[in-house]
Chain A
Amino acid sequence: MSLVETRHLGVDLGGKTVLQGVDFRIDPGEIVTVVGPNGSGKSTLLRLIVGAVAPSRGTITRKPGLRIGYVPQKLHIDPTLPMTVMRFLGLPRRVARRAADEALRRAGAEGLADRQMTDLSGGQFQRVMLARALLSAPELLILDEPTQGLDQPGSAAFYRRIDEVRAELGCAVLMVSHELHVVMAASDRVICLNGHVCCEGAPEHVASAPEYRALFGTGTQGALALYRHEHNHSHDHAHGHGHDHGHDHKHGHEAAE
């Protein structure tokens, strides 16, 4: 049985259609990555699965009692709110110190339990959020651009850690990412989203699909070269279909590195 399954799902936000006709499923133990340009509805899809957004059309079915561990894209903690890492891990349900330390170790954030959340670096903050998500013993771990603001080695290490966590806990992982090459290598299945599902399948399949190349063709040459050499020279075709998003994305991507 799938953990989550959607049928012909549509979402309107503020009078604008953000998602349309999305059929999506994720099975136990899978790592699925959603890629797509800015504003393509990636975060909305995740928030829908978490339950923070209600579908406007279509249906969403979650496995009964599904335990979700969620790492949001951004978490701003107001400086007026004092919060130790230990207390953060215990929201909304308090956890024993031993369990908290174990989750921190798994997430690579050992020894941070007594620090204030606002004193953590970007990478430490992300790992603490991961630790908190792990504490619910999730069947489905949802990560929204978890490596935003991390440098290349940092994000590579983060994805390796996700892979280890999956191996240890056997949970499914659903994530959104901009770092196509790193993420695609780490995924079982990739979904390319742009308001609707453009294409999906094994990473190799998606990377060579014309729909994907139309969106990312100009932005990911180097990245794709790492991934599949034989497609290096077909970018003229991709350019013809290129959206502006592709360029935006390219800049954002390079800046992040």
Chain B
Amino acid sequence: MTLLDSFLTRAALAGVGTALAAAPLGCFVVWRRMAYFGDATAHAAILGVALALALDISIFGGALLVALAMATLVSTLSGRGYAMDTLLGVMAHSALAIGLVAVSFLSGVRIDLMAYLFGDILAVSRTDLLVIWIGAALVLALLAWRWSALLTATLNPDLAHAAGIDPRREQLVLTFALAVVVAVAIKVVGVLLIAALLIIPAAAARAFADTPERMGVFAALIGVTSALVGLWASYTFDTPTGPSIVCVAALCFVLAGIARLATRQKA
């Protein structure tokens, strides 16, 4: 019984840590219309997983490096004459396909592939938990430190310049934070659903928020609720955990939308 408690506790803590970091970062992803950017970075991480397994380094490290490379590549290519959504569509799915092909070359990994695509939160170890919480704390600290500058740069790059803020540096901060969140979230929801953890809580929080800060806080609350309720549902109904978490987040989004419509009609 204690064993059961402890793996569920570890799973809950992993989910909460990831949601806490992903939700406020997800607000910037939504505000800056970077949804596909998040997708491309997350999908590229499967290539990092393959590399990590082949080179026998930590999965987290491999995913972080490749996610960082992908995010930097996309940032560099943006505004160079390609339509951004086309470019990201090409890169997101190519990275995923290349990663899947690369994994297939490794013997004995095929069984584990589902774990990297959809997460395996119930198998989170103490070390994983430590990595997740260090990563989440790093992202939250970075966002808190750069919050005003990030917001100003998000609003308008020229306005940022006039206030002595370099928007390109802020873009790099977001790129780095995104790579870290992707790397820590693989274990929790898997590469295919990371973007959902970023975007859905933020989108649901928009309905209730009147300032960017409140939207960040609401998004974090919705993200944490989704993680815990999703975990409970997965345990109770024997459903896959990562997708269950995303389903709860999606439900929150729908309820938030209905609540917003209802209050509007009253007003």
* Chain A residues whose CB sits within 8 angstroms of the CB of B215 once the complex forms: 82
CB–CB B158/A52 < 8 A: yes
Q: How many residues from A make CB contacts under 8 Å with B?
A: 25
Does A84 lie within 8 Å of B165, measured CB to CB? Answer: no
Add 4 more A-B contacts to A75-B156, A78-B33 (CB < 8 A): A52-B161, A69-B162, A80-B30, A83-B211
Whether B162 pairs with A87 at a CB distance below 8 angstroms is: no
B77 within 8 A of partner (CB): no
Most chain B CB neighbours (cut-off 10 Å) among A75, A77, A81:
A81
- A142–B212 Cα distance when bound, in Å, is 27
Chain B's closest residue to A138 (CB) is B162
Q: Hey, which chain B residues are within 8 Å of A136, CB to CB?
A: 163
Which residues of B approach A to under 8 Å, CB–CB? 30-33, 148-149, 151-152, 154-165, 203, 206, 209-215
Q: Distance (Å) between the CB of A96 and the closest chain B CB?
A: 16
Q: Is the CB of B161 within 8 A of A50?
A: yes
Kindly state the separation between the CA atoms of A255 and B35 in the bound complex, as whole angstroms: 38
By the criterion CB–CB under 8 Å, are A50 and B158 in contact? yes
How far is the CB of A226 from the nearest CB of chain B, in Å?
33
User: CB-CB < 8 A to A82: which residues of B?
Assistant: 206, 209-212, 214-215
Closest Cβ–Cβ distance, residue A30 to chain B (whole Å): 19
Which A residues, 177 to 229, have Cβ-Cβ distances below 8 Å to chain B? none
Contacts of A75 in B (CB 8 A): 155-156, 159
Given contacts A47-B158, A52-B158, A92-B151, contact A84 B210 (CB under 8 A): yes
A-B contact pairs, 28 of them (CB 8 A): A47-B158, A50-B158, A50-B161, A50-B162, A51-B161, A51-B162, A51-B164, A52-B157, A52-B161, A68-B162, A72-B158, A75-B156, A78-B31, A78-B33, A80-B30, A80-B203, A81-B154, A82-B212, A83-B155, A84-B210, A87-B213, A88-B155, A91-B148, A92-B151, A92-B152, A92-B160, A92-B163, A142-B162
- Residues of A contacting B148 with CB < 8 Å? 91-94
Contacts of A142 in B (CB 8 A): 162
Among residues of B, the one whose C-beta sits closest to the C-beta of A82 is B209
* A52, A84, A92, A94 interface centre (most CB from chain B within 10 Å): A92
B166 to chain A: closest residue by CB? A51
Task: Tell me which residues across on chain A come within 8 A of B30, comparing CB atoms.
Answer: 80
Residues in chain B near residue A78, CB distance under 8 A:
31-33
Most chain A C-beta atoms within 10 Å of own C-beta, residue among B165, B211, B215: B211
Complex alpha-carbon distance, A51 and B164, angstroms? 8
Given A47-B158, A72-B159, A75-B155, do A80 and B31 touch, yes or no (CB 8 Å)? yes
Chain A nearest CB, measured from B165 CB (Å): 6
* A116 CB-CB contact with B under 8 Å: yes
**Nearest CB of A to B142, in Å:** 16
How many angstroms from the CA of A20 to the CA of B149 in the assembled complex?
33
Cα–Cα, bound, A116→B214 (Å): 14
Q: Which residue of B lies closest to A80 (CB)?
A: B30
Contacts of A70 in B (CB 8 A): 158-159, 162
B206: chain A residues at CB < 8 Å are 80, 82
Q: Give A240 Cβ to nearest chain B Cβ, in Å.
A: 38
Provide the bound-state CA to CA distance between A51 and B158, in Å.
Answer: 8
Contacts of A83 in B (CB 8 A): 155, 211-212
| Nearest A-chain residue to B157, judged by Cβ | A52
| Chain A contacts for B152, CB-based, 8 A | 91-92
Does B162 contact A52, Cβ atoms closer than 8 Å? Answer: yes
- Closest A-B pairs by Cβ, 6 of them: A70-B162, A52-B161, A92-B148, A92-B152, A82-B209, A52-B158
Which residues from chain B contact A77 at a C-beta distance below 8 Å?
Answer: 155
**How many Å lie between the Cα of A136 and that of B164 in the bound state?**
12
Chain B residues near A50: list those with CB within 8 A.
Answer: 158, 161-162
Chain A CB within 10 A, most for which of B155, B165, B210? B155
- The interface residues of chain A lying within 8 Å CB-to-CB of B151 are 91-92
Min CB gap A100→B, angstroms: 14
Q: A116 to B161, alpha carbons, bound, how many Å?
A: 24
Task: Write out the residue numbers on chain A whose beta carbons fall within 8 Å of the beta carbon of B161.
Answer: 47, 50-52
- Residues in B with CB closer than 8 Å to A72 are 156, 158-159
Listed residue (A51, A88, A93) with the most chain B CB atoms within 10 angstroms of its CB: A51
